[in-house]
Amino acid sequence: MIAALAGIGIRAVPAVAQNAGGTPVTVPDPDAKKKEKALQAGEVEAKQMLLLMDVDKSGKVSKAEFMGFMEAEFQRMDINKDGELDVKELLQMHISPRGGRNR
């Protein structure tokens, strides 16, 4: 989930160099397609997260909606119900709609 939200910041921007005469020349980024694909995947995941968290269907996520979603996810992930997440529980992390289980 965090990776999905962080992936949104990736932008494919071509590098600019100068030729011998000082004229700017666009240098193609060999990873541009890969970055654009990652951006598109991040946008899809962000939209899915919005659909999961946007309880009032306003098209935006309020702090209350976000915190409610995170609280529900924490409770769902805390398999042994000790109020803490350990490595085993985090490795089993899956995001699912409220009330659902995606394991």
Check residue 95 and give its pLDDT: 56
Give 67's pLDDT tier (boundaries 50, 70, 90).
very high
68-84 pLDDT tens trace: 999 999 999 999 999 99
Distance separating alpha carbons of residues 56 and 44, to the nearest angstrom: 20
| 17 CB-near residues (< 8 Å, 6+ apart) | 24, 25, 27
Check residue 5 and give its pLDDT: 46
**Three-state SS for 27?**
strand
Domain ranges of the chain: 1-53, 56-103
Q: What is the dihedral of CA 51, 94, 96, 58, to 10 degrees?
A: -20
Check residue 101 and give its pLDDT: 43
**Three-state SS for 97?**
coil
More confident residue, 66 or 30: 66
